[in-house]
A and B are shown apart, each in its own frame.
Chain A
Amino acid sequence: MKIAISVWNNSLSNVFDFSTNVLIVDIEDAKEVARSKVNLEDTLAQQKAKKLKDLGVETLICGAISREVVFALDSVGIEVLAYVTGEVEEVLQAHLNNSLDAAKFVMPGCWHGARNGFGGCMRKRRLRSCAKEAINKKGG
């Protein structure tokens, strides 16, 4: 499968909406087999989503993201693992090891539904984290 990581230099880009560079990684049996850097150029949500789809991307790992862009990616069937922060190589390894839910990779400020792409125990943890944030926000 192919994943895309929204990058800026050696780190994850802080906001996918405002970034154009992605690292496309081909993964087989939980191992990286190929990688390439792509400039998405387009700034419109639908065009970005379409380009990723055309590149064969199934999952996007990124930082903050707007609802509009999530809807666009969702409409072309791309899974979104959002509100992730850290160095690109570390994030990629964490994804391959299924440990992207570690606290060090969690970017604050997620909105409800932004992390729905996380699956299994990771998803549960993310949802718990989101629910906790919501309670804190209501309380504050």
Chain B
Amino acid sequence: MSNKKDYNQQEIILDSISEGVFTVDENWRITSFNRAAHEITGIAPSEAIGKYCRDILHADVCQSDCTLQQTMNTGKAVTNRVVHIIDANGNKRAIAISTALLRDKAGDIVGGVETFRDMSTIENLRKEIMQKYSCEDIISQSPKMRNIFEVLPNIAKSNITVLIEGPSGSGKELFARAIHNLSSRKDKPFIAINCGALPDALLESELFGYKAGAFTDAKKDKLGRFDLAQGGTIFLDEIGDVSPVMQVKLLRVLQEKTYEPVGAVASVSADVRVIAATNKKLEILVEQGKFREDLYYRINVMRIELPPLKDRKEDIHLLINHFIDKFNRIHNKHITGVTDQAAAALLAYDYPGNVRELENILEHCFVLCSGDLIQVKDLPVHLRRSSGANQSCAASSGVTIKQMEIELIKAAIDRNNGNKTAAAKELGIDKSTLFRKIKSLGI
């Protein structure tokens, strides 16, 4: 009786703490699994108990470098080791684990205990501050983007000049950073500069630096961005907005791999990889005589063309989930998703500002949303208007109810990653009804 009482108390204590805790016996089978462990891994204690811990934790160290095994072998506790797991949402997340031995009253080892806490917020913040993005951070399942991901590592390794074309907000800098972080230059600086934001004289001194006395107020030498990027990568954003004079100077850097700081008498060699980006079609600018052909061919060694978000609408649900996750952390909220109507409005929109605009829309929703789900009323006015217009159009013409049905079914299937059973459940209809509708609506 007393043992049972102790056990219950122990369970209450374990469930009340915010760190995940599980214990294993000598055969690595889980003997207890607390509430926080359930929350972090997404696996219920009833599923976890009795299973091998490696089948539950899904961590990168389980097979190659098991921390609990180290503790069992050496008897020494390990504290706060950061590892990665795959959680029950299919996402990679960082956790910090600590391990210790469990002994019986006689002092014999009877198993081990592992405690862990979610580090994903800290890791994501660190990533944002350090801007250490990789392919994994670019969210897309669109075939166009997947084709780019496939060649990205080879492009990164090659050290060639890259031109990234794509509309504003499509992630040009993210790709440039991913290329840099995948390359052998990853431990050297990545320097970004928006060429369109600066007038010529300023751009020249920003890019190449200047010597003391080069002009009034130039009291001491100043390093330029090419200097700062030595050994690393320079990202020249909005290259299409550079003046003809600056185009000549950039051409020289690309051709000769040397440049002259303003007011200098000697050239400086530049060991810098150049990644340029533009939201304009450089080919057309060349035809119009606004961009030098020789510079165009110098930077267009490898071209990556990023599609606008309206051409990869299959990514909208993934991006919505990603940003909801991000803003939940930032705003300390627990929003679980969007309603079908809000999803339909978000899907129907064309996003002239691309992913950046979608992110801003969702941040707007987070400020206004007071429940678990983002609703149409939480969307910005222009999206509400277009969604309202669709609804009134549906009411007046009588045919768009069918269109709305198609949208809602497609959205539910997308949200459930193609799982029609789960989609039917979410839509509140029988699976056979969903299959019949898919057939009759020609989805």
Interface residues of A (CB under 8 A from B): 8, 13-15, 17-19, 42, 44-47, 50, 63-68, 70-72, 74-75, 85, 107-114, 116, 127, 130-131, 133-134, 136-137, 140
Chain B: minimal CB distance from A137 (Å): 7
Contacts of A113 in B (CB 8 A): 90, 416-419
Tell me the complex Cα distance, A13–B63, Å: 8
Interface residues of B in 42-56 (CB under 8 A from A): 42-44, 46-48, 51-52, 54-56
Chain A: minimal CB distance from B241 (Å): 32
- Are B86 and A66 interface neighbours, CB within 8 A? yes
Interface range on chain B (Cβ under 8 Å from partner): 35 or more
B62's closest neighbor in chain A, by CB?
A: A14
Task: Convert B121-162 into 0s and 1s, putting 1 for each residue whose CB lies closer than 8 angstroms to a CB of A.
Answer: 000000000000001100001010010011011000000000
- Are B135 and A85 interface neighbours, CB within 8 A? no
- Are A109 and B42 interface neighbours, CB within 8 A? yes
Chain B: minimal CB distance from A81 (Å): 15
Contacts of B59 in A (CB 8 A): 14-15, 18
Tell me the complex Cα distance, A42–B135, Å: 13
B425 at interface (Cβ–Cβ under 8 A)?
yes
The 7 closest A-B pairs by CB, nearest first: A113-B417, A67-B90, A111-B90, A64-B58, A18-B60, A108-B47, A71-B141
Tell me the complex Cα distance, A13–B152, Å: 27
Jot down 16 A-B pairs with beta carbons below 8 A, ordered by A.
A13-B63, A15-B58, A15-B60, A18-B59, A18-B60, A18-B63, A18-B84, A19-B63, A45-B149, A50-B150, A71-B146, A109-B56, A111-B88, A127-B422, A133-B47, A137-B88
Contacts of A17 in B (CB 8 A): 60, 86, 92
Q: Among the interface residues A46, A47, A108, A131, which one has the most CB atoms of the partner chain B within 10 A?
A: A108
B41 at interface (Cβ–Cβ under 8 A)?
yes
Tell me the complex Cα distance, A85–B87, Å: 16
B2 at interface (Cβ–Cβ under 8 A)?
no
Tell me the complex Cα distance, A140–B38, Å: 9
- Are B422 and A131 interface neighbours, CB within 8 A? yes
Tell me the complex Cα distance, A134–B336, Å: 14
Tell me the complex Cα distance, A109–B89, Å: 8
Tell me the complex Cα distance, A70–B86, Å: 13
Task: Pick from A45, A130, A131, A140: contact of B44, CB below 8 A.
Answer: A140
- Are B146 and A75 interface neighbours, CB within 8 A? yes
B91 at interface (Cβ–Cβ under 8 A)?
yes
B71 at interface (Cβ–Cβ under 8 A)?
no
Q: What would 18 more interface pairs be, CB under 8 Å, given A19-B63, A109-B56?
A: A13-B63, A18-B60, A18-B84, A46-B135, A46-B149, A63-B55, A66-B92, A67-B417, A108-B56, A109-B41, A109-B86, A109-B87, A111-B88, A116-B417, A127-B422, A130-B422, A131-B421, A133-B47
